[in-house]
Every structure is written in C-alpha cells, then in structure tokens.
Structure 1
Amino acid sequence: MSENFFDEQTEQSEVKATLVAKYFPAYMGVIGNAQKRYGGDRIAYIDLFAGPGRYKDGATSTPVKIIEQAIANEDMRQRLVAIFNDKDEDNVRSLQTTLEALPGYDQLKRRPHIQHGEVGDEIVKRFEENKLIPTLFFVDPWGYKGMTLRLINSVLKDWGCDCFFFFNYSRVSAGLANDLVEKHMDALFGRERAESLRKRFEDKVLRPVEREAFIVEEMCQALKDMGGEFVLPFRFHNKKGTRITHHLFFVSKNFRGYAIMKEIMHAHATGKHDGTVNFEYNPADVRQPMIYGLLRPVDELGEMLMKDFAGDTHGITEIYEKHSVGTPYVLKDYREQLCKLEREGKIIVDKPCPPRPKNTMAPQHKITFPKR
C-alpha cells in the first residue's frame, strides 16, 4: 500500500464511503423489521480492510461513518455487531482510538471488535464453517490480495447477508497478464473465467474500454454463478476522468436490497462524461449482455415493457421486480414510462391517470398490456 494512502481522502474514497454508509441504515431497517417477526436481535457489519478510521486531513472513513450512524439510532445501538480488521497494527490502534472518542460510543450495546491480521484462508474457513447472523460485508483491499470469490461466498451464503467490495480494476487488468499473480486472478474470477480472459486478451487487440467491459462482465457473471443473484457495479474514473480505475460492486440475494442500492447509486451517478464516477457502462456492447443492459436509454423502456409484458396484467411493483434487474432504470422511470404509455392509449390502467397527479402510479393499479 502507498505510504501516503491515508494522508488525504480522495473524492473517489469519499463517494465509496458515502454509498456504503447510505445503504447501511436502509439495510438495518429492512433486516431489523424481518428479525422482529422471528426473534433475531443482532445484525453484523464486517470490514476486513478497515484502515485507521480517519485520514490525516481529518476526513472520516467508512467504519467511523457506520458507528456514528449506529450511535445515533436506538435500534442500531441495540442490534449492531461490528467487526473491523486490518493487517496494520498502527491502523488498528488508530481506529480504536478514533471510535472510542466518538460522542455516545459507550451507549453501544456491543463495542466493535477490532483486530489485526492478514485476510486469507483461515478467515474464509471460519466464515464457511459457521452460520452467520445477517451481515453487511465490506471488502476494500488495496489491490487484490485476499479478495476472492470464496471469501464473498463464505458470507453471502447465509440469510440476510449482502456484500460490497472495491474492485481495483487497474491492478486486476495488469494482473491478468502477469504469471506471477496467476493464483490471485484464479481466486478472484474462478480458474476457468480467469483463463478465458487471458486467452481473449492474448488473441485479440482490444481497446481499453473493451477490455474493461469484458473484465467487469466476467466478474458480474462469476458472482451470479455462485448465488449472488443481484449484482450492481459502480464505476470510478481517475481524477482527470481519463481512465477507469476502480469499481464498487454490490452483491445480494434479495431484490429489496438491490432496489435500494440501485436508487442510491443512481442518485450519485454523474452521467456519461461528467465527473469522477459513472453508473453507465457505455464501453459495453452485446458481447457483454449484463453490462450492456446498463447502457439502455430511458426512452427505450416503454417499448421494452410493451414487448416483454405483451398480453399480461400486473401492478407496477411486480413489473419493477420482474423487469428492472440488469437495467439502469429505477422505479421513477417505470412510473413515468407507464403513465406515458397510458396517455398514448397503448396500455389500460384500471384507474386512469387523470385526475391523479402527473407521473404517478400506485401499487394497487393494475396495468394491462395488449397482445402483439
């Protein structure tokens, strides 16, 4: 790791921390409500590459944001089980000091468990052999060492567990061409997928944007193959906006979590060319079906709905859950496009839009699409 990595928080790190921190209270709320029906009382947050808690410029990192939120919420204070790990003992001591200095820290029912150690087979085996309580899992390695599909699956296997991981695209792309780190690439993608990528890059001269699209597509598919049904990648550029450097992946087995995270990512996207982060995957084409799906302009949604639901009758909630996975569209887009189709006389809604406010469609309204 660069010696000055924690000197100043980059805009990239700030956005990453914000995305995770915004999802955390929503996750706690959804899981907490479900647990109340069955008697569960603990929800975990695990960060295996936690860092020192604060950058030298004073900015707070993700662990501090999480604990501050827990302190401010009575239900979180009672339920949260936080586990932070870092291989650097100085980082562990700094994080401990930073957390203990937070106002209200002593109100937490369970103090965070903070430890230091390398992330490897021992931790993975421990997760694999135990049934975990609902856990939001965050993996943010400097490069790729310790980041494996097996690690993600060891947590994601259990009910209520979601995962974020920061994918260092620049280093992974270089690693696929480096025989010295072959085992790390195999552990990250799975041996078969990693070998397929190596052969593709050997045989063809690809533009950087094409190379990125293939790598991200294979990562998404690898996560899906191991049971991570809902996957969202969020792309980061360098400061000048000239090169893609990282991706933040979100993985879940539950549509509710996927829908919440998509709204959060959508709100923080900057568009195709503006700024540091980008939710759209414009380099992709039909050779990368999942990433290509995130390219579709909203103007295409209406026609897609007419085709995909021809002859069917559904409510907007069902339409959204059945159709939105693998697309860039959020619930607001579906409402707007369905109301537009209704105004154009292309669909039938059991309670017509007027006198409803513009671009509204309630869950109880049934929408009928004509046969094609």
Structure 2
Amino acid sequence: MSRAPELTATEFFKVPQPHSLIKADIVSKYIISWAKIIIKSNLHFKKDSRAYVVDLFSGAGKYDNGEKSTPVKLIEAALEIPYLKENVVFRFNDESLEMIKRLEKNIKDIPNCDNFSHPIKCTNFDAESEEVFSWFVKNAKTLKIPMCVFIDPFGYKQISRNLLKTIIQVPQSDIIFFFNYKRINAALGNEQFESNMDKIFGDLRVQNIKREMETAKPIQRSEIIIRHLNESLNEIGAKYVVPYVVVPEDDDQISHYIVGVTKHTRGYELFKKIMKQHSKIGLSAKSKFGHDLASLQRDKQQTLFEEAPDPINDLSNQLKKEYANSTVAFGVLYKSHHPTTNFTESEYKDSVRRLLANGQALIAEESETPNRKTTKGQQSIPNYLVIKFL
C-alpha cells in the first residue's frame, strides 16, 4: 500500500510535509482534549475512568529528521497530566513491522514513558483483520470503554462503514480519519473500484453519487462527495461530521480531508475550535476549515472585481432573524445555536459585537456588567452577558 502510488511508508517518514505536521497537531490536540473531558467526567461520577486512545496506522512516531508524529505527541502530552497517565490506555497498530519496531524504539526514548498505569501496547495487525475487528466489537458489546480512534491509512480501503459504525456505537467515542479525496474521487469513476466505494458509502449511495456527478461541474465534485460522506456517517450514528480540507502548497487541487466524527455537541465545538486554529483557507473555498493556500490567492484576485464574502455578517443576520424581539444570555444563545452551524465561539462573539455596534441589539438593562468592558479593544462578551435583540 502507498499514500500515493510513488510513495512508500519508509519514504513518507523521511521528511514531513507541512500538512502532515498540521494533521498531527490537530489529531493530538483533539484526542488529548477529548481524553481530559471524558476522564474528568467519569472520575467525577465515579465511573470506570479508562479511555482508549487507538491509532490504527500509527507509523514510526517520528520522521527521520526528528519531527514528531501523532503517537509521540500524544504520549508526551498525556505524561504531563497525572489523571491521564492513570487512565489513558494507548493502543498503537501498524501493518508494517518496520514501522512498529521504529515506533517502539521512539516510545522507549521518551522520558518516563513507562509511568502510565496501563502499559502502552503496540501491535502489528492488518487493520482489516479479524483480530482488529473483533477487538472493536468486544468493546462495543461488552466493555464499552470510551475510545477516540485515529484511522490514517495509506490508501482508503480500510475505511469502512462497518468499522466506523462499531466504533461510534460505543458511548462517548469519537473518530478522526484520513479521507483520501484524490484517490476516492478517481475511484468513483472506475467500476473496478466500486466494491471499495460501497464499503465507504454503501452501494445505494455510491450509485446516487455517480448520478449526481454525471451533470456536475468539476468544482462541485468535492461538495457532492463530502455531503454524501456526511449523510452516510449520520446514518450509522454520527451526529456531527467536521471535514478539514488539505490542498498541498504546490497544487490547487484537493488532496485529502481530515474528518472528525462525534455524537456530542461538545466534541463538535472542540473539533471546530481546533480546526479553526489550524486553518489557512480563503472565503472562496468550499470548506470552512482547512489548509488551502490556493484559495487565499483566489480571494485576493476576486476582491479586485467583486465584494468579498462576509461570513460574520451572514451569522449576524441569522441571529438577528432567529432571536428578533427576544432577550437571551450569550452563553445560552451560543450553546443552543452553535450545533446548527459550523461557526466557532469567537465568530459568534464577533457577530454579536457587530449587532451591538449597528444598533440591532442592545445589552439588556438586567444584564450583569462584565468585569472587563473590553477584551483586546473589543466589547467583552462573557457568557452571562444578556443580549436584547431588536
């Protein structure tokens, strides 16, 4: 298998591409944040506080130039937090024996790596093997230990609805996976790979995708594929799906997506926040989150001839319409409304600031006065601030 036809696993881990480092940052930050939330909650309610962190295609943990990839980042971050050391259960797997041996060495080189209450386990299974699937089924049916699973195959065949459904059925479990758009887009036009597409989308949905693509423009293909991916994941129990698009620096075509899958509004909020922090993407892009420098260049060119899109204005108009003639605390508004959009908390605050500045909303008389009227020169919007929409 290869991440691209000309690239082997060994070559891939020589020097990281910028988007590979971004991926490792997004994944490690999300998983550690997820583990903090899950473990603290279960400790509070005196439940079994173990949490699985599973990387099915872990790789070597480090590149040849010393840059760290996801497994090492996760272990180092967890070591800094006592309740994570006591409760996180790391499981790393890779189909390449060479990669696993390198990973085991890189883990041993981490100071205090043996301080975890549950020893780190590295395995060398085919990700589609009965051993792997049975382990997930056992956890789903009997153990039901929360797990955050990262699936980053070199190709796309190992991404299956059955596996994703088994994982998402476990309470408090989330998934992050690598969606190889470039190769899947090509495979959807080739009957030879139809069975592989059926595994990802389901056979009926694959036929629907193909029908839509017959009349679609090339620029619309990614929207069609991602929409059907979202709907397919919703069908198997995922409530929120957050795609992060990657367009390589030397290209203007989509390479892949990093896809976050969760059932919980807090997970959805967390995915949006972390992906926003790592986004370099233009307003002309079809995706909200991503690394797409080509879209930033398109934005510059378009603004010479037409008015630039204004997402904050769009959100402001939504809030103005939905909360007209009502009074609501910002925290209540954000908590109830953000699950319906892909906007982040900071963007909600910017939208409320704009409405206040334009006289389309007021700070209610009964509102508690913020401790600080301004934050970085802008109107402070704490959760308790009560807004009156006109």
TM-score scaled to structure 2, two decimals? 0.84
SS in 2 for 1:177: coil
Comparing 357-366 and 77-86, the one that deviates more: 357-366
For the residues of structure 2 that align with 1:151 and 1:325, how far apart are their CA atoms? 26
Q: Which amino acid aligns with 1:136?
A: C
The equivalent residue for 2:95 is: 87
Runs of 4+ in structure 1 off by over 6 angstroms are 279-282, 352-355
Deviation, structure 1 residue 124: 2.9
Contact 1:44 1:80 in 2 (8 A): yes
Instruction: Calculate percent identity across the aligned residue pairs.
Output: 26
Deviates more, 1:89-98 or 1:33-42: 33-42
Secondary structure of the residue aligned to 1:231 is: strand
Check if 1:30 corresponds to 2:41: no
CA-based RMSD of the aligned residues comes to 2.4
Shift of 1:58: 2.1
Match of 1:204 in 2: 215
Distance 1:310 1:205, change over 3 A: closer
The SS at the match of 2:148 is strand
- Contact 1:339–1:353 (CA under 8 A) maintained in structure 2: no
Which amino acid in the other structure matches residue 182 of structure 1?
A: E
Determine if the alignment matches structure 1 residue 362 to structure 2 residue 372: no
**CA distance in structure 1 between the aligned counterparts of 2:174 and 2:294, rounded to whole angstroms:** 22
Instruction: Name the residue aligned to 1:96.
Output: 104
5+ unaligned residues in a row in structure 2: which ranges? 297-308
Q: 2:196 aligns with which of 184, 199, 212?
A: 184
Aligned 8 A contact 1:342 1:348 in 2: yes
Which of 132, 155, 177 in structure 2 is aligned with 1:143? 155
Q: Displacement, 1:194? A: 1.2
Residue 302 of structure 2 corresponds to none
Conservation of the 8 A alpha-carbon contact between 1:134 and 1:159: yes
Corresponding position of 1:130: 139
Over residues 38-68 of structure 1, what are the superposed CA-to-partner deviations in whole Å (9 max), with x where a residue is unaligned? 2222111001111122222222210111111
Structure 2 counterpart of 1:108: 116
Where structure 1 has 5 or more consecutive residues not aligned to the other structure, the ranges are: 283-294
2:85 pairs, out of 73, 77, 81, with 77
Q: Secondary structure at the match of 2:346?
A: helix
Once the two structures are TM-superposed, the CA of residue 141 in structure 1 deviates from its matched residue by 0.7
Cα displacement string for residues 67-90 of structure 1 (whole angstroms, at most 9, x for unaligned residues): 111122212111110111111111
The answer to whether the 8 A contact 1:140-1:165 is kept is yes
The CA deviation at 1:324 is 2.3
Deviation at 1:104, TM superposition (A): 1.0
For structure 1, which segment, 67-76 or 313-322, has the greater mean C-alpha deviation from structure 2 after superposition? 313-322
Partner deviation per Cα, 1:109-135 (whole Å, 9 max, x = no partner)? 222111111122623343234333111
Matched, 1:11 2:18: yes
Distance 1:168 1:281 in 2: 20
1:342 maps to which residue?
356
| TM-fit CA distance, 1:173 | 0.6
Task: Decide which moves more: 42-51 or 340-349.
Answer: 340-349
Deviation at 1:268, TM superposition (A): 1.1
SS at match of 1:248: strand
The corresponding residue for 2:339 is 325
| Residue 314 (structure 1) shift | 2.7
Secondary structure at the aligned position of 2:67 is classed as coil
Deviations 1:327-372 (A, max 9, x none): 34211221222233234332343338798223222222333334xx
1:232 pairs with 2:242: yes
SS class of match (2:280): coil
User: How many Å separate the matches in 1 of 2:91 and 2:262?
Assistant: 20
Given residue 224 of structure 1, which amino acid in structure 2 is its aligned partner?
A: N
Distance in 1 between residues matched to 2:356 and 2:251, nearest whole Å = 40
Contact 1:342/1:353 (CA < 8 Å) preserved in 2?
no
CA contact (8 A) 2:368 2:384 kept: no
What SS does structure 2 have at the residue aligned with 1:159?
Answer: coil
Matches of 2:295 and 2:227, distance apart in 1: 10
Distance 2:231 2:78 in 1: 34
Per the normalisation by structure 1, the TM-score is 0.88
Cα shift at 1:137 = 0.8
Deviation track 1:263-294 (CA, whole Å, cap 9, x = no partner) reads 111111112189x8149999xxxxxxxxxxxx
1:302 equivalent to 2:316? Answer yes
- 1:154 maps to 166
